[in-house]
Structure 1
Amino acid sequence: MDLEFHQLDLRYEELRGRSPARERRLLSSLAEVGQQAPIVVVSPVSSGRHVVIDGYKRVRLLRRLGQDTVRATAWDLGEAEALLLERMMRAGDADNALEQGWFLRELRERFGLSGEELSKRFGRTPSWVSRRLSLVAELPESVHAHVRAGAIGAHAAMKYLVPLARANRADGERLADAVAPLGLTTRQMAIVHAAWLGANAEGRALIVKDPGLVVRAHEEARRAKARPATPAEQMLSDLGALGGIAARVHQRTRRGEVRGLLAPEREEIRHAFSQARREVERLIKRLGKELDDARPEHANRDPATA
């Protein structure tokens, strides 16, 4: 049957998160070939409208395409039974933990199902039901709204915003409101979360003001680290290491460590020191000459200039 949109009751729309990528693909399909699968509804309630059980994305996108009606099929079941059956039939498109929590909370509050009844209906333990309900309770409602809208991924919310909200609910809301417009990936959310944990009050204020800056700075540092070092950078690194090693050995001699060595050990060190000194003297002679030749007054002798 075909139903007009005003005949639909969308009371369970908030039980599913949105995926912008999936909705783009479905929108393209609907525009190209039209609606292929009907939505699922149950018998009209007292208002005379049909309660939608499955097909919320199709309803939203058909409206965007300017359609007046949606094709539907009606199940001869009560609302609770229809919702449970629809979830069982969607086993291949499993809900995330937050969606499971939303669904359990709805069944408990709307239909009065106890934790024990819910565990039996889902074939799960009572502790599984309790954990999902606790997860929903721990996140501020504003964060739930961002997840439902697809602005924050459910996995990122569970991994980073739930622990933050447990420690400080206001901080969880502030950070969620700041990152939601950016559509960060879970990896990028991890970068912002790590920066938040390591920052003081002033640093956190800056993160909230522009969390994208944290992500960009991290990406730039990663690219710089992956970029091959220039000859000058390599030489500076080697000379820095050489100076550091020389300073460390000098400190050891000042502490008198050489005097405490056995004769064979002193002989080994004397031999190694002679070799090191020869290499350093060769470096001093060669590098000094190269640097002198590369001075501005000797530009005609500079290999790079040539």
Structure 2
Amino acid sequence: MSEIRLPFSALIPFFPPMRLTRDADEDRDFQESLREHGIRRPLLVRPHPIHEGKFEVVDGNRRLAHGQIVGLEDAPCEIRKMSDEEAFTVALILNVQRSNVPSIGIGNWLQLMQMKFGYSQEKLAEKVGKSQSWVSRHLKLVESKIEETNS
């Protein structure tokens, strides 16, 4: 796998975002780092399944968004061919490995994968390398949030 620089105009964020909330101080620090050092770790992208000549950012959406804010024009990218199922799984695994991704965001993503691919909790646990109870806890967070919103 080789690294290539792609212009931001060729990159489309993966949807939906895993991070639903932002921390202004953390964002400011991240932007300052990008201004000073640029994007150091390549974005993981795949050829966009619909838009020819464009790439979907599977991992690195935060770097993409903040890079645009600070005026960068391109980013180092690793291009991989992936199906939708592979892209969703890789995005979930990489975000689960980060400590600063909110549990509700992970829960939303797990729920989305259940709906999109028909996965059981056991299959999700297998895909992510976690226990079924871990998956269940994250899905319950989403259910609780929905109930709270509807009350």
Q: TM-score range by the shorter chain?
A: 0.7 to 0.9
Q: Say yes or no: does 1:111 pair with 2:121.
A: no
Partner of 1:22: 26
CA drift at 1:104? 0.3
User: For residues 111 and 43 of structure 1, do their structure 2 counterparts lie closer, same or farther at Cα, with a shift above 3 Å needed?
Assistant: farther
Match of 2:50, SS state, is: coil
The answer for the alignment partner of 2:82 in structure 1 is: 77
The answer to whether the Cα contact below 8 Å between 1:75 and 1:82 also exists between their aligned partners in 2 is no
The residue type equivalent to 1:139 in the other structure is K
- 1:1-60 per-position Cα deviation (integer Å, ceiling 9, x unaligned): 232333223233522243323221111111112221221111221222312111111111
Q: Aligned AA for 1:41?
A: V
- The residue identity in structure 2 corresponding to 1:111 is F
- 1:121 is displaced (CA, Å) by 1.5
> Which blocks of at least 5 consecutive residues in structure 1 are unaligned?
141-161, 171-306
Partner of residue 56, structure 2: 51
Which of the two has greater strand per residue? 2
Report the CA distance shift for 1:90/1:128 in structure 2 as closer, same or farther (over 3 A).
closer
Q: Which residue of 2 aligns with 1:275?
A: none
Q: Which has the larger radius of gyration?
A: 1
Q: 3-state SS of the aligned residue for 2:45?
A: strand
1:15 counterpart SS class: coil
Give me the TM-score of the superposition, normalised by structure 1. Answer: 0.41
Write out per-residue CA displacement over residues 233-285 of structure 1, whole angstroms, 9 at most, x where no aligned residue.
xxxxxxxxxxxxxxxxxxxxxxxxxxxxxxxxxxxxxxxxxxxxxxxxxxxxx
In 2, Cα distance between the equivalents of 1:128 and 1:32?
38
Aligned AA for 1:122? V
Task: Report whether the alignment pairs 1:135 with 2:138.
Answer: no
| 4+ residue segments displaced more than 4 Å | 89-92
Would you say the 8 A contact 2:45–2:58 is kept in 1? yes
Aligned residue number for residue 37 of structure 1: 41
Deviation string 1:191-236 (CA, Å, 9 cap, x unpaired) is: xxxxxxxxxxxxxxxxxxxxxxxxxxxxxxxxxxxxxxxxxxxxxx
Unaligned runs of 5+ in 2: none
| Matched residue, 2:8 | 5
Q: 1:98 to 1:91 in 2, by over 3 A?
A: closer
Question: For 1:96 and 1:62, how far apart are their aligned partners in 2?
Answer: 22
Report the residue type matching 1:59 in the other structure.
L
Contact 2:58 2:90 in 1 (8 A): no
- 2:15 maps to amino acid: Y
Report the secondary structure of 2:76's partner residue.
strand
Secondary structure, aligned partner of 2:77: strand
Equivalent residue number for residue 64 of structure 1: 69
Q: What CA deviation, in whole Å up to 9, does each residue of 1:94-134 have, x standing for no partner? A: 34321220220121222332223112222334343233223
Higher helix share: 1
Q: Tell whether the 8 Å contact from 1:101 to 1:135 is kept in structure 2 after alignment.
A: yes
Instruction: Tell me: CA distance 1:169–1:13, structure 2 relative to 1, closer, same or farther (3 Å).
Output: closer
What is the letter of the counterpart of residue 37 of structure 2? V
Residue identity (%): 24
